[in-house]
Amino acid sequence: MVSPRFAPGVSGGAENLVRGLATHAPAGWDVEIATTCAHDHHTWFNALPPGRAVDDGLVVHRFPVSPRDAWEHERIAAHLAAAGAVPPGQELRLMGTSVWSAGLQEFLDARGRDYDLILFAPYLFGTTFWGAQAWPGRSVLIPCLHDEPHAHMACMGALFGAVAGCVFNAPAEERLARRLFPVASGGVVGMGIDPVDGRPAAPPPAAVAALPGPYLVYVGRQEEGKRVDVAVEYTARLARERHPGLHLVLIGSGTYAVPPAARPYATQLGFVDDDTKRAVIAGAAALVNPSELESFSIVLMEAWREGVPAVVSAGSDVMAEHCALSGGGVAFADYAGFADAVSAILDDPGGAARMGEAGRAYVAREWSWPAVTERFRTTIESIYDHAQRGHAADAEDARDRSRA
């Protein structure tokens, strides 16, 4: 399995997904990791030593991140986001300035045939885009796909069409991929959520315990790309208009700063340990996830695991579908929808509790590790069988051409 980062303490949905799948692989599978020496996804500094290591019982091969023009990458990405498309040459320039490792590429070139399949995550990184081209017939994407301009690039269509198959996180992600690309084989696997026993052992931080009224919680990167600013704006407005004392607690790191006018209604805790995060989530009236760029949403499952209802962006088909299937949350498209959803939760504690319990049951039923591991097994075996049939057909075609 190939991931841009893989190390203790690394945060990120795709990185956590790779670790989870690798450590919960079916019995009898031999899984190794190939990754870079980076730990921080902002600097991509080579903080870890290159070479072979063992992490969580897995053999990990680390290689230095190669020099790249990060400024050029951001310039093209900004133009793509604004215009919706760039010329093919600029697409390749964008991927050519993405995070990549020459040593990792050489490892894949030389050792790729030693593995039955090579799984790459996520789709947007140079480690995936260029790495999968070493052995496309053995390559499987775990794309963590969003409906964004990058996904509509012609070079991505070529990538998805060349690989053996895809492993998806949710049905909505698979539908998007099959609408955009010629996916050869694959299916939904997702990520398992570890069960918890009882209430959190840790108390909430003092800043949370001292809040005079109910609070909502946001967990994730504090960046406007995740629409954290929308969560702050909507919560502050709702507190002023309808629910005095309502507060938003923000967990996670990032460059976003709460505007002065909203500070009476929002508290940024920054990065916290898992026990504290669990305590804050468990005490919330609801989780708020305004992001439109989700292929699974681990934090949504973590909130439901605690029996906490959710209010999510209708712009994320993945989360909206999770809510519809589970009954554990409500999707909002604008401020009015947000205000109505949160007000319904605050005004009807019994209904909110039933909503949270429905989410908890959904997580236990669909996203336990045993269920995910079984889907992982059947999906990968199906992709492998499909690839083997394709290889056999190619060999037969080659023999026919040689006879001619």
Cis check: omega of the bond before 214, within 30 degrees of 0: no
| DSSP 8-state symbol, 42 | T
Q: How far apart are CA 31 and CA 104, in angstroms?
A: 17
- Identify the pLDDT of residue 204: 86
Residue among 212, 359, 376 at smallest CA distance from 300: 359
The answer for residues whose C-beta is within 8 angstroms of residue 397's C-beta and 6 or more apart is none
Question: DSSP H helical segments within 55-120, as ranges?
Answer: 70-83, 88-96, 102-111
Q: Which amino acid does the sequence have at 361?
A: A
Note whether 231 and 248 are within 8 A (CB). yes
Q: Is the dihedral of CA 347, 204, 14, 229 positive or negative?
A: positive
**Confidence band of 203 (pLDDT split at 50, 70, 90):** confident
Q: How far apart are CA 327 and CA 89, in angstroms?
A: 46
Residue range(s) of every CATH 3.40.50.2000 domain in the chain = 206-366
- Assigned token pair, 60: 């990990």
The β-bridge partners of 139 are: 118
- Identify the pLDDT of residue 395: 46
Residue among 169, 229, 178 at smallest CA distance from 372: 169
The answer for residues whose C-beta is within 8 angstroms of residue 7's C-beta and 6 or more apart is 35, 39, 48, 55
Question: How many CB atoms sit inside 10 A of residue 392's CB?
Answer: 10
The 10s digit of each residue's pLDDT in 300-328 is 999 999 999 999 999 999 999 999 999 99
Residue 107 burial by CB count (10 A; 0-12/13-18/19+): exposed, middle or buried? middle
The 10s digit of each residue's pLDDT in 122-146 is 999 999 999 999 999 999 999 999 9
pTM score over 0.75: yes
**Confidence band of 114 (pLDDT split at 50, 70, 90):** very high
The 10s digit of each residue's pLDDT in 232-266 is 999 999 999 999 999 999 998 888 999 999 999 99
Q: How far apart are CA 310 and CA 158, in angstroms?
A: 37
- Identify the pLDDT of residue 396: 45
Residue among 193, 209, 215, 204 at smallest CA distance from 300: 193
- Assigned token pair, 244: 């005095």
Residue with tokens 């053995």: 138
Is the model's pLDDT at 201 over the cut of 80?
Answer: no
* CATH code reported for the domain at 206-366: 3.40.50.2000
Mean residue pLDDT across the chain: 93
Residue with tokens 């504290």: 276
The 10s digit of each residue's pLDDT in 210-239 is 888 999 999 988 888 899 999 999 999 999
The 10s digit of each residue's pLDDT in 374-383 is 999 999 999 9
CATH number for domain 13-192+370-400, candidates 3.40.50, 2.60.40, 3.30.1070, 3.30.1360: 3.40.50
